[in-house]
Structure 1
Amino acid sequence: MANDRIADHGLLADGRSAALVDRNGSVNWWCPERFDAPSVFARLLDPNGGHWSLRPRGRFEVHRSYLPGTLVLRTVFRTGQGEVTVTDGLALEPGARGHQIGRRSPRALVRVVEGVSGVVPMAMSYCPRFEYARRDAYLVRRDGTLRATAGPTTLTLDASLPLASTAGEATLDFEVHAGQRETFTLRYAPTYGEAPAVPTVDDPDPLAETVLGWRSWAEEHPFQGSYAELVQRNALVLQGLTYQPSGAVVAAATTSLPEELGGDRNYDYRYAWLRDFCLTLRALWVAACPTEAGRLFDWVASAVGRVGGSQVPIMFGVEGERELDERTMETLRGYADSAPVRVGNEAWRQRQLDVLGEVLDAAWRLRDHLDPMPEEIRDLLRDLADQAATSWREPDAGMWEARDAQRHYLSSKVYCWVGLDRAVRFGERLGDADDLARWTRQRDEVRETILREGWNADVGAYTGAFGSDRLDASVLVMPIIGFLPAADPRMRATINLIDRRLGHNGLLRRWDGDPATFHLCSFWLAQCLTLAGERDRAARLFEIIASKANDLGLFAEQLDPRTGEQLGNFPQAFSHIGLILAAWQLSTASTGATYSEEGYP
């Protein structure tokens, strides 16, 4: 089946790339070289985009789950003839444990079929389509394997059973008896490079090292608080979205899954945003450990480099690339015919002033790990503070990346305040007396301006932009980052009004007219209610939002309030970050801890 529901998919990851496999046993998305590389399977975006299906013939029921503490997926197929399991994983390198997993991925997708009871007829279909379905594959049998090459990419399929093939597809019909095991291994290698060692079909347990690797990471990162199991599962998802060679965390594993069916807001999210950076780092700090948070900050510092007076890029490729020009893939129809399919993201050219504060805020969170502070980090942070001091009065594209016009977005001003506030807190570690005086003056002026211009008395709330009467859920960051207490009368009125006007059964849209609710904003609301002293109400809301994940605990970006369908790129880091931070906020409230002046861990 093509264009299965977004939420029907599970995530496989190996520290460099991600694959999505649906409930029917079809791998519908994989970019094996790295997250943002060309796809070899893209049926998620087009019926003819390429796939690798492994499923029973005839009718079946499905139950699936991750092996505990891993991103190895086990699907149980129950049929009238018996029961069979398919265990899927992107292989991790043998022997890698803890923080070392994923650094040198074998680039191999392993699928293990095991008979549980009876005799189950099975069918396999393997149809790679290279470079976003621009190239058909020609399969060549070599040394008992099927090899497909298209330009720089070579795939080699090995199986414990003989495969039949035509020019562009391999098929296999076979039966699995109780106790029988069959193994399939698909490995990627650059056509003109050396192929890495991968698990073989003769290996008695080809995913054993992968399971041990994931569990070693999970065991090092226990979360002591409410919803511990849920937080750890979401932390694993963030780890799965991490490009391990650099430490960058991508916003999602996919491109062009639509915010609205039939709409054109279909963007490529396989990159790392500074917009997400601050929240990502906090979530890693809470749910993992400072090692991951520190690696992420090191990557950002390296990617941004020396700023001076130039515009700070808002996003990067996973190895720090800046030019991410957007183009349309005419070879793919789009998910549910929602065109266009885009590769690259033109938002890299935008100015978003919030990034200045996000990087400074992250540095403040890591201040103990930046003592002594390296000279290049000090220069970067000083440049960012100087930019916040001089540019906060200017309009920008805002955190939702508006493509129509620049505005004086409230959240952007708030994050400029955050940047200046953290710079002042660093004190002499960051600037001299003149710097600190200048940053302090600008910080106070930003705050006064936000409180005066951001409040709309006619609406009775802080609105999304100066002079606007439009509510925007992005202003919920104000209490979360410590700009205003949630119990402040105007802030409390804003929270209540956003809940009433943008809410749908507890879930929030970003703005009035947004076609779907946005998971991160819903979790922000739960955080704000907790900070306002309404923990029971916040907990009920949190549990409603958490229940909207799919059966594997995965979130897309948004949820259609009419149909309950998940929409947008998948899985979305923002959504999982929101869950982790809301769970932390609830845990802090349940322990009776006092509200910290920063308002977050």
Structure 2
Amino acid sequence: MTRPRPERQTDRPGGTPASNTVPIRDLGVIGDRRSAAVLDRMGRILWYCPCRFDGPSLLAGLLDPDGGEWRVEVEGARPGPRRYLDGSGMLETTLEHDAGRVTLLDWMTSGPDAPVGVLLREIGPSPVPVRLVLHPRPDYGRHAAQLSRSGEAVMIEQMALHGSHPLRIEGDAAVMELPAGEAGWMLLSDGPLPPPDRAAIDGWRENSLAYWKTFDEAVDYQGVFKTEIDEALRAIRLCTHEESSGTVAAVTTSLPEVPEGPRNWDYRYVWLRDAGMIVSALLRLCKSDGEGERYLRFICRSTGTSEHYPMAVFTDLDSQTAPPETELPLAGWNGARPVRIGNGAADQLQLDAFANVALAAKLLYREGKQDERAHWDVVQDICNFLTGCWQEPDHGIWEEGERLHYTSGKVVAACALESAAAYGDADEAKRWGDAAREIRDWVAAHCLTPEGAYAVHAGSDEVDVTAALFPVWDYCAADTPEMIATMTALERDWSPDGKLYWRRLQEADGRAEGVFVAAGFWVAQYWVMRGELERAREIIEAGIAQGNDLGLFSEEADPRTGEMLGNIPQAFAHAGLIGAVIDLNRALEARKSNG
């Protein structure tokens, strides 16, 4: 059943924002590495896709005030502090009240010793009554849920809702009331579940905490920004689908890059472009190469998903081509429309996306703990493809509609071919090396601005912040005349303060968006390579400040207001932070050891 789009919402009584006007900075995320739920500082779950990240939502209040939500009603409450519990993906939220505090613990069962697909809400003893209301709206809010009784449980189609106190159905919502002074819980299961008791829930919680602790134990880092590194790893892991090992770009869709739209995209898919940076982050921080290798393995399973290229530039969690783009009749976050599911850019030619897979493989061979050339057949196919098509215009790293000779795509293709040549046979080394030299000659002849900087594309007078990565990719030294000219132009034209950076877009004004959070971390890596470590540290700190109190980044941030923009949590930005901090820490340690 399709519902008419409601009018733009005002705040609810008592000053609580309408669900689809909640600031992105106020959002927190819980998950079980299958799916995730997004909630605000008042404990309202406003986004939840049962079973998997890219599946249809049950709760979409984040994108429409009638899209479904699970709220905790405490008359007179206001938001208090919140934190993740013991390094896990389990979120504790405090509501302040004149009579005292109300504590919520939201989590999803995780690990081999807990049931699969259970979302739990625990409420500590409250000084005042608490009312919990689950208002489901399946399939992105496109039809009303069918609620029915099954013993003490409420069935929401095939899903089972249980509570510590009696549940009742009120219209199309399920309600539980908790008297003052009593603790309680509600849980929602993907399928039928026998009524649990308190002991069972306590056991699941401890098992889930133990599961998350195994990730902490796999990390070997004690350097600068240790807390922020831990937060970034948690965010990446909250975006990672355990069964397939794919990491989605974010767990949400259609949170806008420009206030009030229309640049609103579905990021619940796995991008090739992210592979290099995420694999690098996992390999450089973890004691074993398991997580990084599994992610690369997922990427390499995507062969055959494109009719024209080695693979689609992003896929769903089954390593299949992502669904086509569809617009939903929802009001949008803060009125930003259209609201989209699916993504239409999957079969673009993006040289950087394919090249990043080869670079990720190089990192596995160089940084990993295994000697074998994992997924070498895929690397060979990609390098042969790049050798034959690098001369073609592509859609670039920002997935532009217009195909041009984007410099960053040529540069990273050359770096990928050179890195793979070191592991290939004599014939491969020659062919790929020759192609890389041809690319370098072409870039030198066609991709410099009149100022001598690397142009965003051949023939352009403008630069883009992706060029800060050229030394990181080993394309050139950080202090070449071209790089110095590029960084001068970037700071002059594409940075509001020398620490945060806009991206340069072909089809829109990049300065109309927020600053691109990952870009600042790329620039920090550049200054580490130049030896200006204090400058790099200041840029990293400025980037960290764009996150929220839980250490979560969205894709962008408004440099004037601090408002977070775009989907959350942005795995790419978190991986960028890790890369910059590790480079800084290694440089600081080298400086210390050298006196």
- TM-score w.r.t. length of structure 1: 0.90
Contact 1:2 1:46 in 2 (8 A): yes
Contact 1:557 1:575 in 2 (8 A): yes
Q: 2:420 is paired with a residue of what secondary structure?
A: helix
Q: 1:26 and 2:44 equivalent?
A: yes
1:59-115 deviation line (CA, Å, top 9, x unaligned): 32411111121111001122111112000001113538xxxxxxxx61111011012
- Equivalent in 112, 127, 141 of residue 133 of structure 1: 141
1:412-442 deviation line (CA, Å, top 9, x unaligned): 00111012101211132xxxx3332222211
Contact 2:103 2:123 in 1 (8 A): yes
Q: Which residue of 1 aligns with 2:317?
A: 318
**Cα distance between partner residues in 2 of 1:541 and 1:21:** 29
- In structure 1, stretches of 5+ residues that fail to align are 97-104, 190-194, 595-601
**Cα distance between partner residues in 1 of 2:242 and 2:554:** 22
**Cα distance between partner residues in 2 of 1:456 and 1:475:** 13
Contact 1:55 1:124 in 2 (8 A): yes
> Following superposition of structure 1 onto structure 2, how do residues 91-240 of structure 1 map, counting pairs within 5 Å?
91-95=109-113, 106-115=116-125, 119-149=127-157, 154-177=158-181, 180-189=182-191, 195=192, 200=197, 203=200, 205=202, 206-240=204-238
Contact 1:232 1:287 in 2 (8 A): no
Q: Which residue of 2 aligns with 1:493?
A: 485
Contact 2:351 2:413 in 1 (8 A): yes
**Cα distance between partner residues in 2 of 1:484 and 1:197:** 61
Q: Which residue of 1 aligns with 2:418?
A: 421
| Cα offset, 1:541, TM superposition | 1.4
Contact 2:283 2:364 in 1 (8 A): no
**Cα distance between partner residues in 2 of 1:356 and 1:202:** 50
| Cα offset, 1:383, TM superposition | 1.7
Contact 2:305 2:312 in 1 (8 A): no
Contact 1:529 1:535 in 2 (8 A): yes
Contact 1:308 1:383 in 2 (8 A): no
Instruction: Name the aligned partner's letter for residue 476 of structure 1.
Output: A
Q: Which residue of 2 aligns with 1:452?
A: 445
Q: 1:160 to 1:492 in 2, by over 3 A?
A: same
Instruction: Name the aligned partner's letter for residue 129 of structure 2.
Output: P
1:189-215 deviation line (CA, Å, top 9, x unaligned): 2xxxxx478965553625222122112
Q: 1:37 is paired with a residue of what secondary structure?
A: coil
Q: 1:420 to 1:199 in 2, by over 3 A?
A: farther
Q: 1:278 is paired with a residue of what secondary structure?
A: helix
**Cα distance between partner residues in 2 of 1:461 and 1:202:** 65
**Cα distance between partner residues in 2 of 1:268 and 1:276:** 15
Contact 1:218 1:236 in 2 (8 A): no
Q: Which residue of 1 aligns with 2:19?
A: 2
Q: 1:546 to 1:75 in 2, by over 3 A?
A: same
Q: Which residue of 2 aligns with 1:77?
A: 95
**Cα distance between partner residues in 2 of 1:443 and 1:523:** 27
**Cα distance between partner residues in 1 of 2:354 and 2:195:** 43
Could you tell me the percent identity over the aligned residues? 33
Q: 1:301 to 1:527 in 2, by over 3 A?
A: same
Instruction: Name the aligned partner's letter for residue 90 of structure 1.
Output: M
Instruction: Name the aligned partner's letter for residue 454 of structure 1.
Output: C
| Cα offset, 1:299, TM superposition | 1.2
Q: Which has the higher strand share?
A: 1
Q: 2:412 is paired with a residue of what secondary structure?
A: helix
| Cα offset, 1:475, TM superposition | 1.4
Instruction: Name the aligned partner's letter for residue 349 of structure 1.
Output: D
| Cα offset, 1:559, TM superposition | 0.4
**Cα distance between partner residues in 2 of 1:197 and 1:528:** 56
Q: Which residue of 2 aligns with 1:363?
A: 361
Q: 2:71 is paired with a residue of what secondary structure?
A: strand
Instruction: Name the aligned partner's letter for residue 165 of structure 1.
Output: I
Q: 1:157 is paired with a residue of what secondary structure?
A: strand
Contact 1:306 1:380 in 2 (8 A): no
Q: Which residue of 2 aligns with 1:248?
A: 246
Q: 2:72 is paired with a residue of what secondary structure?
A: strand
- In structure 2, stretches of 5+ residues that fail to align are 1-17
Instruction: Name the aligned partner's letter for residue 526 of structure 1.
Output: A
> Following superposition of structure 1 onto structure 2, how do residues 553-592 of structure 1 map, counting pairs within 5 Å?
553-592=551-590
Instruction: Name the aligned partner's letter for residue 119 of structure 2.
Output: L
Instruction: Name the aligned partner's letter for residue 184 of structure 2.
Output: E
Pairs aligned (count): 564
| Cα offset, 1:384, TM superposition | 1.2
Contact 2:31 2:238 in 1 (8 A): yes
Instruction: Name the aligned partner's letter for residue 495 of structure 1.
Output: M
Contact 2:87 2:212 in 1 (8 A): yes
Contact 2:159 2:188 in 1 (8 A): yes
> Following superposition of structure 1 onto structure 2, how do residues 251-262 of structure 1 map, counting pairs within 5 Å?
251-262=249-260
Q: 2:550 is paired with a residue of what secondary structure?
A: coil
